[in-house]
Structure 1
Amino acid sequence: MITGFGLVPIHGIILIECIIMVVTSSKIMRQFIKNSINCNQDCSLKTSSSENVPPCKKCNMKIIGNVLVSEPSIENLEDNRKLQKTFTGWKKTNHNHVINFLNLHSDKNWHILDVGTGSHNLSEIYPDINPNQYYTLDIQNNNHLDIICDLTKSQPLKEIFDVIICLNVLEHVYNYNDFLNNTLKMLKPNGYFLFAVPYHSGLHQTPYDYFRYSNFALEKIFTEHKLEIIEIEPVHNGFNPWASLSTYKTLIRNNNNLLSTLTTFMLNMSILISRIAYKINRDIIIDGHYSEIDEQKKNQHPELKLKSTPTGYVGTLKKL
């Protein structure tokens, strides 16, 4: 192919275009964040064009490698991404909740903030999300983020986002009222808050696993924060009574003695028998969980849905 650079292979052109797209996207994201920093107009972060800016004397935030940082203890960014190749049914349900909502409003030119992003950038996983209008925030030091901030302590940006995503975060925030106050201050009036929280779930990310919210608690908390509840839906990810058995088996098999060996064998047999029983009769309910058939027929059996224990809750809220 002949270009302004002379004879260049087609794959070279593609590479150049990809680099231009990445750089352009990065600049757009940084400028949007800079313009929206929760500080005065003469904030040193807004007026500087450098990729590294020392703390502003007014807002005490700084820029490190184009990442807005509100944590004074962070001096250098780290590369801590641990990407998963597969997701659990629960995580897939969370993602589907977000994607389905955004697809319903695909005509909107929304700016989206993902709070508690962790290692995953949803715009890298789902093409439905425009990376130029998707922004990431977490408390952890990670160089792939747009913002590093403890939202229980401060509000880094102004009221600029149309949608805020908060998946599997609230259970890890002890001061959840402060967290919600600062988070919702970045959401525009009539903006949407999409969330997911586990309920029937084991401890994870310990020791920072504090709460399991029922739908009654969620309704009360969100109403107190002036959010209109559009939906709060329980999620049932199928029949899984052997999960607890498997966890128990993992705990005891480290003891290298005859009793633990026999106990492990018995647990394996229990898991095997329960799986066979489930295959034979897939509409049974054990331990308050849905089977797949119950999930398919939940509209016909609302009383089962009310009595069963959900894996967690997903919801859509609107800022009043």
Structure 2
Amino acid sequence: MGVIPNSLKFVKQHIKKRLDQESFHPELIGILTNPFYFARRGLSKNIERLSSEIQGKVLDVGCGTQPYRQFFSQCKYHGLELDTPENRSSKVADSFYDGKVLPFAENSFDSLIVNQVLEHIFEPDRFLDEAHRVLKPGGHLLLTVPFLWDEHEQPFDYARYSSFGIVYLLEKHQYSIIESHKSVCGIQAIVQIWNAYLYKVTFRNSRLWNLIVALLLMAPGNILGILLSWILPQNSDIYLDNIILAKAEQKTHLSHENAAET
């Protein structure tokens, strides 16, 4: 009598696990089920591509649920999150901090990961100085930040960065750019923003409902975006995210903001 219920439970768990995987690393199934297919696929593929540049002791600032940790199995990984009651219950972090001072000594890490975090930081100059402080000279910074995206996690949403703006900001804080890449360009970026709109206006606290809506409303958009990207000319001026690999230069001085505080 217990065989069928156990089998159904196994199937349900397998489906949930697969959908969770498709959430941040979408492949074929994600075309049908993931409202953020283009954005998440672009991030996943680019982070995986650059993961070999991240070595040694690694700090992932704003690690969330650590969806990309699998790409850094060669590293000694430490996830850090902002210390809030919500983050304490929903995030998967090794430690928490006040959002101002990184709780580590100077030159503590060989590499830093800052994924979709900088847009939420209201004092980016101070943050980048702090990141540089805990990063060893010559250490690598892997940073992603949106250029085109809706306002989210309100009121903790500060900025969007163009490819020129983020490079300027990093160089200002003693990082040299190894690679600057635009993720999800042209018609796919436009389709992704449309799907993000549909997701926001239809979202309910029901996984089944959201899946049905994705199948009915977002999947056609994903398919159309893929097809049109083969037909229409590319336009890299319209894109979702900046993907940056940078190197910390030798420390020479603090920015004037931090210097005034010491």
Question: Normalised by the size of structure 2, how large is the TM-score?
Answer: 0.63
Stretches of structure 1 that go unaligned for 5 or more consecutive residues are 1-82, 255-267, 291-303
From 103, 124, 149, give the equivalent of 1:176: 124
Alpha-carbon deviation of 1:209?
Answer: 1.4
Residue 313 of structure 1 pairs with residue 242 of structure 2: yes
Find the structure with the greater CA-based Rg. 1
Q: Summarize the alignment of residues 18-33 of structure 1 with structure 2, pairs less than 5 Å apart.
A: none
Partner of residue 207, structure 1 = 155
* Inter-partner Cα distance in structure 2 for 1:96 and 1:138: 23
Amino acid corresponding to residue 179 of structure 1 in structure 2 = F
Task: Say yes or no: does 1:102 pair with 2:51.
Answer: yes
Q: Which of residues 80, 102, 105 is equivalent to 1:155?
A: 102
**Which position in structure 1 is the counterpart of 2:3?**
none
Q: 1:244 to 1:312 in 2, by over 3 A?
A: closer
Asked if structure 2 preserves the Cα contact closer than 8 Å seen for 1:89 and 1:237, the reply is no
Question: Aligned runs of 1:153-302 on 2, under 5 Å?
Answer: 154-158=101-105, 159-236=107-184, 239-240=187-188, 241-245=190-194, 279=227, 282-285=230-233, 290=234
Partners of 2:142 and 2:222 in 1: how far apart?
Answer: 36
Whose RCO is larger (CA < 8 A, sep 6+)? Answer: 2
Provide the C-alpha distance between the structure 2 equivalents of 1:281 and 1:231, rounded to a whole number of angstroms.
24
The 3 A distance-change label for structure 1 pair 275 and 129 is closer
What CA distance in whole angstroms lies between the structure 1 residues aligned with 2:65 and 2:120? Answer: 16
Q: Deviations over 1:11-32 (max 9, x none)?
A: xxxxxxxxxxxxxxxxxxxxxx
Aligned CA distance change for structure 1 residues 244 and 221 (closer, same or farther; 3 Å): closer
In the alignment, structure 2 segments of 5+ residues that lack a partner are: 1-18, 25-36, 204-216, 250-262
The 1-side partners of 2:229 and 2:142 are apart by 36
| One-letter code aligned to 1:181 | D
Matches of 2:180 and 2:147, distance apart in 1: 13
SS at match of 1:213: coil
- Measured on the aligned residues, the alpha-carbon RMSD in Å equals 3.4
Partner of residue 260, structure 2:
none
Three-state SS of the structure 2 residue aligned to 1:94 is helix
Q: Tell me which amino acid in the other structure corresponds to 2:77.
A: Y
Q: What CA distance in whole angstroms lies between the structure 2 residues aligned with 1:276 and 1:194?
A: 31
Higher helix proportion (structure 1 or 2): 2
Determine which of 77, 89, 99 is the counterpart of 2:38. Answer: 89
1:138 matched to which residue of 2? Answer: 81
Q: Which amino acid aligns with 2:49?
A: N
Q: Closer, same or farther in 2 for the Cα pair 1:160/1:205, shift >3 Å?
A: same
TM-score (norm 1): 0.53
- 1:119 maps to a residue whose letter is T
